[in-house]
Every structure is written in C-alpha cells, then in structure tokens.
Amino acid sequence: MVLAGYLGICALLFFKQRSLIYFPPQRAALQAPQVTTLAAPDALLKVSQRAMPGPKALIYLGGNAEDVSASLPQLAQAFPDRALYLLHYRGYAGSSGTPSEKALVGDALALYDRTATEHQDIALVGRSLGSGVAIQVASLRPVSKLVLITPYDSLLELAAAQFPWLPVRWLLQDKYESWRYVPKVQAPTLIIAAQDDEVIPPASTRRLAGRFAQDRVAVRMIEGAGHNTISDGAGYVEALAWAR
C-alpha cells in the first residue's frame, strides 16, 4: 500500500508537473500601445510592444504567473530609447498553445529573430522563470545586454530541494538548468536580486552569478524587496536602466 501510494504521487507529479511551474494569467492588465501576433509551431503568440524606429530594442520575458503588459510602464521609463517587445507565453493572456521549456525558448528565439530584422542592438530582460529562457536565448543569439531579475541556477535543483523524498531528477521535464548555458553567454550581464526573496534561495542566485566570468557580471540587490514585490522596490527602475 505504501509503495503504491508513493508511485501514485510520482505519477501525479510527472503528469501534472507543468501546472506547478506555469500559472498563466488569462487577460492582460494593461493595453499596450501596440499588440502584434507571432506565429509559432502549434501556437499564436501575443506580443505587447512599444514600437520605435532605430537600432535599439529590448525583449522582455516574464515570470511564471506574470502578465507582462503590467511591466510595460516601468520598462518604458527605464528604456526611453529602445523599442519594447514583451512576449506573452503560450497559454498566457491572449496566446494559444501549452507552455513548456522547449516551446518557450523556441518562441523567444522566434521573437528575437523577428526583432532582429528591424533592430541591430537587442537587449534582453528575463524575470524569475523568464531568466532561464533569457539565458538560453543569450547563449544562442548576439545580445548587447542581459538583465536577469530574481534568477535561479537550476529549476531542477530547486525542485529537488523542495521534494527531497521524490526522484525529481528523473521526473522533471522542464529543468531550466541555466548554469549549462552560461559559458556561451557573451553579453555583459546584470543580476537584480531581491533581498528578501522568499521563492528563490539566495544561494541559488549566488551560484548562478558565480558561473559567469566575473568581468562580465554585476549583481544589484534591491533592499527590502521580495520575489514578487521587487519591481516596487526603490532603485528597481534605475537598476533596469543599466541596459540602456
């Protein structure tokens, strides 16, 4: 009976794991100046954007429950001279499809490639879950600046620590092992951490920072901020503006 129950829990985690990683908002909180559609395999993706002519652009990849349109005002403040493109993940607020690590990275690469047809200088910002997507994109495409907000070293390691009694390393499909991709990232990188992050252990963020060549990475701590409140913290917009 005990073994059957244990195996049942393992099966439940395996088949329901993505519902524990992705929490899609169903509608956008703010109306972007412009909304476009990006066609991807098996999905139509919504992109909230502020178009702007010129060489500079920024792509924003949000957190696991984030409506990225809510970040548009702060991004516009931090980046007055960059066109802004905010990707709504598959299944998130106007985008069809089902999220997975492979799909999200592929979609972000597709948005990068479309953006690169109009802009030569592309900065990349990834928050929380999106930091894992952003690192993979930056390892495969030329990025002028990379900003990682409340990032982690490995989602697999976080899950294994949370469920030490389960064989997470064999069950987890979307591992987001950011450390694997750091050696191929050439862009100057800023990590923005929350002093009181209750979701990502500080040790995980420190491990990630330590993977980078030290002349290519800087860390900025937002004092008194939590994982989900970091964007309300003093100095957050100023920190973002590093990537102008």
The pLDDT tens digits of the residues spanning 45-63 come to 999 999 999 999 999 999 9
Closest residue by Cα to residue 188 from 226, 221, 211, 214: 214
**Does the pLDDT value for residue 110 go beyond 50?**
yes
User: Of 1 and 35, which is predicted with more confidence?
Assistant: 35
The whole-model pTM stands at 0.93
* Model pLDDT, residue 227: 97
Beta strands per DSSP E along the chain? 34-40, 43-50, 56-61, 83-87, 121-127, 146-149, 189-194, 217-222
The pLDDT tens digits of the residues spanning 172-193 come to 778 999 999 999 999 999 999 9
CB 113 within 8 A of CB 161: no
Our measurement of the distance from residue 6's CA atom to the centroid of its chain's CA atoms, rounded to an integer in Å, reads 33
Structure tokens at 207: 């491990």
Closest residue by Cα to residue 43 from 116, 92, 101, 84: 92
Q: DSSP letter at 120?
A: S
* Model pLDDT, residue 16: 58
Place of tokens 């390393």: 169
Average pLDDT value for residue range 6-10: 50
**Does the pLDDT value for residue 14 go beyond 90?**
no
Residues 52 and 164: their CA atoms lie apart, in Å, by 48
HSE value, Cβ hemisphere, 13 Å, CA-based, for 227: 16
Structure tokens at 4: 């059957």
Percent of the chain topping pLDDT 70: 89
User: Of 164 and 233, which is predicted with more confidence?
Assistant: 233
**Does the pLDDT value for residue 195 go beyond 90?**
yes
Strands 83-87 and 146-149: unpaired
* Model pLDDT, residue 39: 94
* Model pLDDT, residue 7: 47
User: Which burial class, exposed, middle or buried, applies to 213 when counting CB atoms under 10 A from its CB (0-12, 13-18, 19+)?
Assistant: exposed
Percent of the chain topping pLDDT 90: 75
